[in-house]
Amino acid sequence: MKSNGKTVQLTAEHRTENKGAALATLRKSGRVPGVVYGPSFDSVAVHVDEKDVTRVARTGRSELFELQLKDGKKVPVLIKDMQKKNDHLIHVDFIQISKNKSIQVTIPIDFQGTAKGTKTGGVLQTQETEVVVEGLPNDLPASIEVDISGLDIGDKLSASDLKLPKGVTLVSSEEMLIASVTVLRAAETNTGEDTDASAEETAESTEE
């Protein structure tokens, strides 16, 4: 894997073997079988270096990179699907993307900071960790950062509150709940029980 300016390139070799035993041998050698497909050519069976594709996979579901085939052809792609077994990548699908055509992708949310409500007894609950957005491949971010430090008890963060890069639009519902700071019911119940107990003790003292 190498970086060509801002474009990351991943080298792929053509694959002719598709049987289980051959694929197992391939994986033992540190290679991952895969397929690349797109509108301009038929699907091509390939294999790539496991370490390299794992590094690319950290952003490859949202950031465009180039898959360089051994015949010299460079194909702009995104990772469409990955299959894992026992924490090892066993198969990957690449899909060809046009740099001039908007696409929809799922982007992870990167929560920054500590919600202030958690310092006064609240608990941060994250209902969603990803959102679907649309934009040109080169405009899509690897993740969407959101500062949650201002969230107090009772506050909520919706998809509409996310700040997206220029040229990127939200596809997920604007009303989709992303995170909130709440008080656990158990804590509320205990607080109520303590209050009732104190009231009973006060009543008994008065009677005496």
pLDDT digit string, tens, across residues 33-46: 999 998 877 889 99
Q: At 20, is the pLDDT very low, low, confident or very high (cuts 50, 70, 90)?
A: confident
CATH number for 57:
2.40.240.10
143 and 91 in one domain?
Answer: no
What confidence score (pLDDT) does residue 59 get? Answer: 61
Domain count, the chain: 2
87 and 131 within one domain: no
Q: What is the pLDDT of residues 128-146, one digit of tens each?
A: 999 999 999 888 888 899 9
Beta-carbon neighbour count of residue 137 at 10 Å? 20
**Rounded-to-integer distance, Cα 73 and Cα 155, Å:** 51
* Sequence letter at residue 76: P
User: Domain range spanning residue 92?
Assistant: 2-96
pLDDT over 80 at 158, yes or no: yes
Q: Kindly state whether residues 171 and 118 are assigned to the same domain.
A: yes
The pair of three-digit structure tokens given for residue 105, joined into one six-digit string: 């992708």
Helices marked H in the chain: 20-28, 50-57, 185-207
In a domain, 21, yes or no: yes
* Cα–Cα distance for residue pair 187/67, rounded to 1 Å: 53
Residue 49 lies in a domain: yes
Please state the rounded mean pLDDT for residues 13-30.
Answer: 89
Residue 61's pLDDT is 60
Which residues are CB-contacts of 146 (< 8 A; sequence separation ≥ 6)?
Answer: 109, 110, 111, 112, 157, 161, 162, 163, 178
Higher model confidence: residue 49 or residue 72? Answer: 49
**How far is residue 120 from each of residues 10, 44, 81, 187, measured CA to CA in Å?**
48, 56, 42, 12
For range 69-86, the mean pLDDT: 87
Minimal CA–CA distance to 81: which of 51, 36, 25, 44?
A: 36
Report if residue 203 sits inside a domain.
no
For residue 186, what are the CA distances in angstroms to 124, 183, 193? 15, 9, 10
Residue 199 included in any domain: no
**Residue after which a domain boundary falls, among 96, 114, 147:** 96
Q: Give yes or no: residues 70 and 86 share one domain.
A: yes
Distances from the Cα of 179 to the Cα of 22, 115, 119, 142, 183, angstroms: 46, 10, 16, 20, 13
Whole-model pTM over 0.85: no
